[in-house]
A and B are shown apart, each in its own frame.
Chain A
Amino acid sequence: MLSRTPAVAVVVVVLTLALMPLAGSRYAIDLATQVLIYCLFALSLNVLIGYTGDVSFGHAAYFAIGGYACAILLTTYRWPLVLALPASIVVSGLAAAVIGYFCVRLTQIYFAMLALAFAMLVWGVAFKWKGVTGGDDGLTGILVPKLLENHTAYFYFTLGSVAVGVALLWMICHSAFGLTLVAIRENTVRAGFIGVDTRKMRWGAFTVAGTFAGLAGALFGMYNRGMYIENAFWTESAQVLIMVLLGGIYSFVGPLIGAAVLYLLQVVTNQYTPYWPTVLGLILLVVVLVLPDGLVGLAKRVGGRAARA
């Protein structure tokens, strides 16, 4: 079931975020920027997982492609941001369209593995194409427009971009297209029998997901002033996957919550102990054993019980 966020809550969240730089430290602003980027990244993946039912182990590829494309256009070719950003989004969308065309011919675990294979290929290309991508040294010294060099300015830019991204994804996920995707997730065979070309629609979903991941990646690269091949490695894909699952795949806002929670948890944990993998592993165990519909699912169940009490 698709869930609805009351408009009021949305306004509150956005306002809080918009006013934050007035009260928060630079560290908080930076953190918020990163969280916003990963929120968008996770949301894009859920178009595939939550709405279409296709689990991809290779979503970081489009994050990386968007990030590298934007970085290269800005730095190597000196394009203005107003051209580089849309272009990098288009590039990642195209990559997703091409790769997705092949991936949707398979389902389930084979789909996941093929998506992973392509993602590792992207990683490999980023690794080897040292001249263009900087290889394992990374692409550093990304030229960000003067206007955005200030941390607060970049935060607002990210907030605006992510807000647009989220709004567009909201529209898409709740459109007739989105509803049909959910039908495909629930019962792919039946969806075929109501006249839907399920493979083509899954392809569409894959492309949409990759496009918005590319936007997140572009924002990340500029924030980070650098893109590194780790951003394309399967561990990055795994992490965003966990974010989505932790939040809850059956709601629109689930991935947003999961991304925020996981990212902040990681930052906090890293300050006290080097054993973040253990924490992440335990979280994953809990989700898998007890919370398959994530934190949002848990909240719904608790809320339901409270309402009945």
Chain B
Amino acid sequence: MSTMLKIAGLWTSFAGFVAIQDVHFDLSAGETHAIIGPNGAGKTTFFNLITGRLRPDRGTVNFEGTELVGLAPERIVRMGIARSFQRINIYPRLSVFENVQVALIAHAGQHWNLFTPGRSLHRGDTADLLRLVNLGAEAREVAGELSYGKQKQLELAIALAAKPRLLLLDEPTAGMSPQETAGTIALIRDIVRARGLTLLFTEHDMSVVFGMAERISVLHHGEIIASGTPDAVRNHPEVKRVYLGEHAIG
């Protein structure tokens, strides 16, 4: 498997607080990789650095041969990387349909079209995508009024609309009931398999992590203290000490 994402020597700090220190990270194409770590370990910051929302103080982020550091988020998206957000980040006053539709319009580069009515574009693809994430029935509802779980599904749909090759999901099952979690996991697994996506996700729910991930990296105080197969990580002494502690691991 070829290396899709190669990160080296990544450092970033906020007002003296070092958030990410000397991170080296490799992601192979087609891999499903989980990043875990306690709250405040820097997982979201890590995602922000990859997707261009933050600029690192030092280091390189190389995606299929292209250097991402310094590029604006919109350019990085166009290269095939999409993400969802930990805190719901949708368009509240637009309908569910429009939330996805506008993403498809943007992906097709039609957002500068001043003539064609926005409503008429990509209707079929939008409906398909909504059905895929089980939001077909809610298409006309105002996105801001959906339940939390459904908003998370919408988050996923918007990310998929960018037709990414690398998908970054930031706590996709956060705040979900066990049922919703199981459903979401199955859905993500299906989509990843069907589209041949590379998946990088963060999670707190260990059953999700160990159920889905082919490889796991553990982030602690901005450093990766372990990286490898689930078994290797599970038995890693540093990880046990710092993070997994007394919890029984599934």
CB atoms of A and B under 8 A apart anywhere in the complex? yes
Interface residues of A in 145-193 (CB under 8 A from B): 171-172, 174-180, 182-183, 186-187, 189-193
Question: A-B contact count, CB below 8 Å?
Answer: 106
On whether the beta carbons of A177 and B90 are closer than 8 Å, the reply is no
Stretch at the interface among A12-20, A88-96, A197-205, A283-291: A197-205
Interface string of B92-129 (1 = CB under 8 A from A): 11110010011101110011111111110100000000
- Of B72, B94, B116, which is within 8 A of A175 by CB? B116
Residue among B51, B90, B95, B114 facing the most chain A CB atoms (10 A cut-off):
B114
B5 interface residue (CB < 8 Å to A) = no
Alpha-carbon separation in the docked complex, A216 to B85 (Å): 43
Q: Interface size bucket, A side?
A: 20 to 34
On whether the beta carbons of A192 and B116 are closer than 8 Å, the reply is no
The interface size of chain B toward A, counting residues with CB under 8 Å, comes to 39
Knowing A194-B77, A195-B74, A195-B78, say if A176 contacts B90 (CB, 8 Å). no
Q: Which residues of A contact B92 (CB under 8 A)?
A: 186-187
Secondary structure class of chain A's binding surface, majority of residues:
helix
A1 interface residue (CB < 8 Å to B) = yes
Q: Which residues of B contact A99 (CB under 8 A)?
A: none
On whether the beta carbons of A195 and B106 are closer than 8 Å, the reply is yes
On whether the beta carbons of B113 and A175 are closer than 8 Å, the reply is yes
Name the residue of chain B whose CB is nearest to the CB of A177.
B114
- Of A172, A182, A183, A189, which is within 8 A of B114 by CB? A172
- Of B51, B77, B118, which is within 8 A of A180 by CB? B118
On whether the beta carbons of A179 and B118 are closer than 8 Å, the reply is yes
- Of A177, A186, A193, A201, which is within 8 A of B94 by CB? A186
On whether the beta carbons of B91 and A186 are closer than 8 Å, the reply is yes
On whether the beta carbons of A177 and B111 are closer than 8 Å, the reply is yes
On whether the beta carbons of B111 and A176 are closer than 8 Å, the reply is yes
Alpha-carbon separation in the docked complex, A186 to B55 (Å): 24
Q: Which residues of B contact A195 (CB under 8 A)?
A: 74, 77-78, 106-107, 162
B38 interface residue (CB < 8 Å to A) = no
On whether the beta carbons of B77 and A178 are closer than 8 Å, the reply is no
Residue among B94, B98, B111, B115 facing the most chain A CB atoms (10 A cut-off):
B111
On whether the beta carbons of A1 and B111 are closer than 8 Å, the reply is no
B142 interface residue (CB < 8 Å to A) = yes
Name the residue of chain B whose CB is nearest to the CB of A198.
B74
- Given A186-B94, A190-B85, 14 additional A-B pairs, CB 8 A: A174-B118, A176-B118, A177-B113, A179-B98, A180-B118, A182-B102, A187-B90, A190-B89, A190-B91, A192-B74, A193-B51, A196-B106, A196-B111, A197-B72
